[in-house]
Amino acid sequence: MLLLSVILVGALLVVLAAILVDSPLGRSWARRLEGPDGVGQTPELRDLQRKVDVLESEVDELNRSLTGMREELQFVNRLLENPKKKSS
């Protein structure tokens, strides 16, 4: 039983680590570990990195919006396919 609980906790930690690494917080932490801003980077490279970061955040926002729209569309489709029939 102890072995099973250790395996489950380990699996949960792996999933949690994957979520944190892919989150904006994880990206921010990775940038801090890379070193101070400007060391060996040209102004053009810093500007390009900033633009990429902005685009990544916009793509994430669009993905969330698209997911919400899909869910709404599925809901409306279910409503249209199974309308309540009034008995007369």
Between 25 and 77, the higher pLDDT residue = 77
pLDDT, tens digit, 9 for 90 and up, residues 3-50: 888 998 999 888 888 887 778 878 777 777 776 655 567 888 889 989
61, two tokens:
């926002």
Render pLDDT for 54-63 as a digit per residue (tens, 0 to 9). 999 999 999 9
CA 29/CA 53 separation, integer angstroms: 14
Distance from C-alpha of 17 to C-alpha of 29, rounded to nearest angstrom: 13
| pLDDT over 60 (residue 67) | yes
Q: Give residue 88's pLDDT.
A: 43
pLDDT of residue 69: 96
pLDDT of residue 75: 92
26 vs 17: CA distance, rounded Å: 9
- Euclidean distance between CA atoms 7 and 5, whole angstroms: 5
Please name the residues in contact with 60: beta carbons below 8 A apart, sequence gap of 6 or more. 24
